[in-house]
Amino acid sequence: MIKVTRRDFLKGSAAIGVAGALSGTVLNTLTPSKAHATEDGIGWIPTTCVGCTTWCSVDVKTQTEGGVTRAIDVRGNKYSKRGDAATGDASNACPRARLALQEAYDADRVKVPMRRTNPLKGRGVDPGFIPVDWDSAMDEMADKMLQMRAAGNSHKYVYFRGRYTYGRDTLYTGIPKIYGSPNGISHSSICAEAENICREGVVGKYGYDDYDIDNCRCLLLWGVDPTASNRLVSGTIHKLGARINAGMKVIAVDPRLNTAAAKAHYWLPVKPGTDGALALAMAHHILVNGLWNKSFVGLDDTVFTANNNAVVGTVAESGTMGLVTWWDMVLKDKTPAWAAGVTGISPLTIIKVAEEFAGVGEADDDKARAISWLGPGVAMQPNGYYNGKACIALNGLMGSFDHIGGEIQAEPSASVYSSDIPAYATYQDATATTGAGKQKITKYVASGLEAGMPTVEGNAPGKLTPTNRAGDAIKDESPYETKFILGAMNNFVFSCTGTKRWEDGLSGDMSSWSAEGTTSDGAPPFVVHATTHASEFSMFADIVLPGKHTGLEVKSSTHQRSGMYKNHNLYNAVISPVWPDAKNPESELPWKLAQALNTWGFSNLLNFLRTEYPAAVGASTLGVWADSSAFEDIHHKYHATKGTAGARDTLWTQINGATMTTISAYQEAGNGIYQATYASTYFDSNGRGAAWNGLTFGTASGKVEFYNSGAKHLTALTSYKTKVTPNYSTFYDILNDCNYNDVATQVGSGDANPEYVFLPNYESPFYNKGGVNPAEYPYAYIDHKSRLNREGRSQNCGWYYEFKSNDPGDEKWKDVIKIHPADAYVIGVVDGDTVKITSPSNPTTGITCKVKVWNGVRAGTVAKAYGQGHWAYGRNASNSGGGNNNEILPAEWERINGGTARNGVTRVKIVKI
Amino acid sequence: MSQYIMKVDLSKCVGCGTCGIACKIGNNTPKRQTGQTHNRADYITETTGYFPYTKWTALPVQCNHCENPLCVAACPVSPVADTNCVGGQRKAMYKLTAANGGFVLHDDERCYGCRRCQRACPYSALDVNSANAQFSVISGYDRLQEPFQYLQDTTEYIASCTGSEDEVRSQVSMSDLAPGYANRWEFAAGAAGAGLPPTPINDVRRKNIVDKCYLCYHRLNDSSLGSTENAGERRPYCVIACPAAARELVTTIPSGGKVLAHKKYTYLRKIVLVNPSTIGTASIPNTYYVGNFGNR
């Protein structure tokens, strides 16, 4: 094969031009010899897409020339069983997957470590970055960290985790614990965490589920567009239309016309934050009309009549618990007519969708092929806990948890996957133990538990880390001063609501920074940021470290469920690093930092890394001066496998094999993936899973619990009452402090009716509370995710803007706020006008963007995508105009759980400028 | 071989735009500039109806490889005799006979950038910005400026600390003026297309010509990509990449299929699907849409 360069080709083309004037048919003979995809140097290499948390298996097309390997295309990994065997390569790659190319080859990536020269920090203040080398950057980090350690301030070291892989533990746990800090802080609670507390409250599982769309009869989507974001995106794109054509019905509940709503049979544009009312009315109608799945729920002859208590029959409740209590106390008067007044959806429509969802006339096991898919749009609201539980409880009525065609709870039969960090306790000295034993800064108050923030997970309060609390903790220096921050692939200054708190906390004059002392040094924290792009967070950094691109340059792994498979994917270092100085933040950075700490006399971290990881994979202890890439290799293999060294070797060989190896009937590995599905015996011939049949859900009773006095959350909140300072005497007070005022009223002062604490219910939206004047702030604000957001990392990609119109209502190269025509008329704006948006939490500065007059939102409601409005991150991002939603969203929470509330959280004012 | 038809099943399409992004990668087209999208595959989106009966529809578009294409008629370049082409003549813009697949192709070497094709095409705008058009099938490259000239930019976002376009190309050994991720290889008219004109595909675009979708002629005619034409890798890249499997290349007009009306009815920003018989006799598209995007 002859490689054809552009120069050769043009030469040949010129000849064609001359010959062409003579004859048409002679041209073929002058055609250049072809060089094509099968030629040497071209290959498809498996890796993983990190465009969202579906973590799809992808292949990257590479070309190697002159020793440099470049990525030239991305597609789905056709061996991934999550896709479709016929079109597997496409069905595993949504539009975001290919944006990885523009991210990796982005001219504005950080290419070398850089050091701030301006001691003054603030938004709009030039940091005066200059290039430095890794050694001096690590030396400075190590020096400061060890000064803090010597002064008993090691706990004032904070790690912020943004996008991660399952090589995450070394940064998140290893360094803090061995160095001496409790502050490993992840981004999870600003993502979709509150979904999990809702799920746990009904079926006892704190975690995300899979959904069996292939066999689903009716897909009910609550505040989620799975063709665009959240999870299972590629698979849903692939399946949605085909499944609709095969008869599946889609009901989309979202105040904004999203893509799934555009495809759906029913679009229910509820008033923001009222989803719970709709869900209750659907449950009401299902029960009144005897439409529940009696094979699962039981209570076959119990009669539910509107506004009356249930008349319990002879057949007991079986798969669920507390349905009669739920009916008598909550549901009996939640008629479709009632919900219509709350949600703005007509009673007839509510009845229609309730019957569609319940499958009138269907056999019980066909009723169960319905999914009530709770999305972050509902859960990540201040009222998300009760409303989200109401939405997800519908799956209980239909018996669709762990049923074919429903919401799948159980993990696939096989479990191999990754390893957590090796045991590190023997590497912790007394200082480390003491420091790591202090309370996290996200436990914002000195007592640890904060009033009005139970942050429940499982049966314990104070378990979840409310990431966004760190913004307050830094600003207020509470519970203690934050002196040193290491952030990796995070941008909390931009991605957390209430951005100004973060900006204020990180601003100031570094001149007075001191590692010592127990009182404030008056300086903001010393910040180190490992990142691909100099983001807003980097603008407050003292040192910025160039990160490798996750997906194309790092070696690591993740696992995730989707499409009834659990895939364990490798991240391969597919390309030659664009910037040789870029390092893997999760493995090479800790190694280099450990080396620097070692040279300054603190050897525990390096000894842990160079001993424990190699030992586990059967490798020799690494030398003190080993290159970081050697550690990355071992770290990669360790976290991507588990078991003995021999077992790891076997699995490693299997995953890395060029062809799929069947390991058991339900597991196979190769081509960069280990994949497992359910044993054929897991679902019986009726489609009922083992947890369905055996009632082994994660709840105390093993059943789906509408009400259960022994629930985990009762234990957690009971514990919270006495552990928080000052103590709470009642749930009533807790709920009022957590913005659940309606539910608190039902509980009653003195906890007269404590059952209400746990029943799925309706709580009115936060934006209508707190005395905000609707006349001043007339519009309820909807934040939604842009379809091409690679979780906030793609905004410097040109294609992000060129293809922006794939978000319904949005336009290319613009950031628009979507406004109903009637509201636009009142405001006095037309398409393309520039407006300023302010909110009670940001009444002066606000944000600006363009107007799109649009019928996809109701009057009184406005919507804008999150993504644009950068003031750093690169040229495209910072020059694209628009505004960052997080600047006008208040720092509020779903407080039972601690997840950041982005929806139903504010009203806004819109003024033409 | 017979006339190829792009069949788009709107009932499967979710308007995600993968076709457009994949095409830019597969065909190395530059970024939007000087009123030209350079998107060989693109889409229109449209919101219709009043709340709450609102509909949002996406319509994938690319060159329609029309019957009696107006772009070919408008091309002023002297024709050469070529029996592979409709009318036995081949200009800079030309249409292969149905027996050769019916592609409307463009010869970069003979084009001199007059853009009469772009003006004549009922699915193109000379300047998408001033026309307020959502797409243009044909884009024109500037007379003087290289299409990827912006990749020679040596400015750094943060001086000495972040890269530049020029430096990225250097880091990945791109001697050509093309993005770091550009394919650097050529397809040629292959065995399957024996007797056909050469593939007019150039890996790097050039100034002072027009550019449009070739229906990935190069892929369809490359037998090394598979033994079956229009299967596997031997398909247009938008078809391969579509995660919804909404696109298919066929050779018979799909039953009930509709075509996009000419721009005098759509302004290149509205979705007006019509029966092809209403189009007239010139530029009858060979892109057919079946099914409904939405279900309400």
Give the length of chain A: 913
Q: Kindly provide the residue ranges of all beta strands, DSSP E only, lying in A177-288, ordered along the sequence.
A: 183-186, 210-211, 218-222, 249-253, 266-268
Any domain includes B154: no
Q: Which residue of B has its CA nearest to A16?
A: B109
Are A16 and B198 in contact (CB < 8 Å)?
yes
Asked if residue B75 is part of any domain, the answer here is yes
Most B CBs within 10 Å: which of A1, A80, A125, A237, as the mutation test of the B interface? A237
Q: What angle do CA A551, A552, A556 make, to 5 degrees?
A: 50
pTM > 0.90: yes or no:
yes
CATH architecture of A767-912: Beta Barrel (2.40)
The CA distance from B200 to the nearest CA of chain A, in Å, is 9
CA distance A873 to chain B (A): 9
Q: How far is CA A859 from CA A773, A779, A823, A827, B51, in A?
A: 17, 8, 6, 12, 9
- Residue B180 has its nearest CB partner, among A24, A39, A70, at A70
CA atoms within 13 A on the CB side of A631: 29
Per CB-CB distance under 8 Å, the chain A contacts of B204 are 6
* Cross-chain Cβ contact B163/A107 below 8 Å: yes
Alpha carbon distances (Å) from B47 to A453, A767, B263: 42, 28, 18
Give the other-Cβ count within 10 Å of A512's Cβ: 12
CATH code of domain A194-408? 3.40.228.10
Residue B167 class from Cβ within 10 Å (0-12 exposed, 13-18 middle, 19+ buried)?
Answer: middle
Asked if B162 lies within 8 A of A9 by C-beta distance, the reply is: no
Contact residues for A775 (Cβ-Cβ < 8 A; gap 6+):
none
Nearest chain B residue to A576 by CA distance is: B172
**What chain A residue is nearest to B166 in terms of C-alpha separation?**
A107
pLDDT digits (tens, 9 = 90+) for A145-200: 999 999 999 999 999 999 999 999 999 999 999 999 999 999 999 988 899 999 99
Comparing alpha-carbon positions, the chain A residue that sits nearest to B187 is A34
Q: Is residue B172 part of a domain?
A: no
Identify the CATH class of A118-191+428-551+578-626. Answer: alpha beta
Average pLDDT, chain B: 91
Query: Could you tell me where the DSSP H helices lie in A2-81?
Result: 6-20
Residue A5 has a CB neighbour count (10 Å cut-off) of 18
The beta strand positions in A361-446, using DSSP E, are 370-374, 407-408
With residue A638 as reference, give the H or E element that holds it: helix A628-640
Interface test with B, best of A38, A74, A82, A111 (most B CBs within 10 A): A111
- A108: closest CA of chain B, how far (Å): 5
> Exposed (0-12), middle (13-18) or buried (19+): which is B143, by Cβ within 10 Å?
exposed
CA A598 to chain B, closest CA, distance in angstroms equals 28
Give CA–CA dist A227/A95, Å, rounded.
Answer: 10
| Separation of alpha carbons B134 and B128, rounded Å | 7
Pairing of strands B5-9, B287-290: parallel
* Interface predicted TM-score (ipTM) of this complex, two decimals: 0.96
Longest dimension (CA), chain A: 99
Which residues of chain A carry a pLDDT beneath 70? 1-41, 85-88, 413-416
Write out chain B residues lying below 8 Å of A863, CB-based. none
Contact criterion met (CB below 8 Å) for B72 and B91:
yes
CB contact under 8 A, A808 and B56: yes
Contact A24 B183 (CB under 8 A): no
From the list A25, A259, A808, which residue is nearest B47 (CB)?
A808
According to the model, what pLDDT value does residue A183 have? 98
Those residues with Cβ within 8 angstroms of residue B285's Cβ, 6 or more apart along the chain or in another chain: B64, B65, B66, B123, B259, B260, B276, B279
Residue B171 lies in a domain: no
For residue A3, which phi and psi values (nearest 5 degrees)? -75, 130
- State whether B25 and A101 contact (CB < 8 Å): yes
Report chain B residues whose CB lies below 8 A from the CB of A35: 185-186
Token output for A496: 């957390």
- Buried/exposed A452-491: b ≥16 CB within 10 Å, e otherwise: ebbbbbbbbbbebbbbbbbbbbbbebbbbbbbbbbbbbbb
Mutate to test the interface with B, among A11, A28, A115, A532 (most CBs of B within 10 A): A28
Phi, psi of A406 (to 5 degrees): -120, -155
Residue B275 lies in a domain: yes
What pLDDT score does A3 carry?
34
> Which pLDDT score is estimated for B201?
59
Q: Is the pLDDT of residue B187 over 80?
A: no
Where are the alpha helices (H) located in A410-520, listed in sequence order?
Answer: 430-436, 469-476, 492-495, 499-506
- Chains A, B: CB contacts within 8 A come to 298
Cβ neighbours of A13 in B, within 8 Å: 108-109, 202
Q: Which residues of chain A have a CB within 8 Å of the CB of B209?
A: none
Contact A697, A401 (CB under 8 A): yes
Separation in Å, CA of B99 to nearest CA in chain A: 16
Residue of A nearest to B77 (CA): A21
Cβ density class A304-325: b for 16+ within 10 Å, e for less: bebeeebebeeeebbbbbbbbb
pLDDT value, residue A32:
27
Residues A258, A369: Cα–Cα separation, whole Å = 24
pLDDT score at B199 = 52
Per the domain annotation, does B158 fall within a domain? no
CA angle A128, A131, A132 (to 5 degrees): 120
Cβ <8 Å between A9 and B56: no
Q: Give A20's contacts in chain B (Cβ within 8 Å).
A: 80, 107, 109-110
Q: What is the phi/psi pair of residue A498, to 5°?
A: 65, 50
Q: What confidence score (pLDDT) does residue A84 get? A: 76
Q: Is the pLDDT of residue B192 over 60?
A: no
Q: Is B179 in contact with A31 (Cβ distance < 8 A)?
A: no
Q: Which residues of A touch B269 (CB under 8 A)?
A: none
Cα radius of gyration (chain A): 28
Q: Which residue of A has its CA nearest to B163?
A: A107
Largest CA distance in chain B: 61
pLDDT per position as a tens digit, B70-99: 999 999 999 999 999 999 999 999 999 999
DSSP state letter for A729: S
End-to-end CA distance of chain A: 62
Cα distance between residue A375 and residue A783, in whole Å: 13
What's the confidence (pLDDT) of residue B203?
65
Reported as a pLDDT band with limits 50, 70 and 90, residue B208 is very high
Residue of B nearest to A225 (CA): B14
Shortest CA distance from B292: residue in chain A = A263
Quote the tokens at residue A329.
């106390």
Q: For residue B72, what are the domain limits?
A: 5-144+178-290
Residue A6 to residue B153, Cβ atoms within 8 A: no
Residue B229 has pLDDT above 90, yes or no: no
Chain A residues with CB under 8 Å of B249 CB are none
Taking an 8 Å cut-off on Cβ atoms, the answer to whether A24 and B80 are in contact is yes
Query: Closest Cα of chain A to B85: distance in Å?
Result: 10
Rounded Cα distance, A69 and A61, in Å = 10
Q: Nearest by CB to A31, which of B39, B157, B188?
A: B188
Q: How many residues make up chain B in this entry?
A: 296
Contact A263 B242 (CB under 8 A): no
Q: What is the rounded distance in angstroms from the CA atom of residue A541 to the CA atom of residue A535?
A: 10
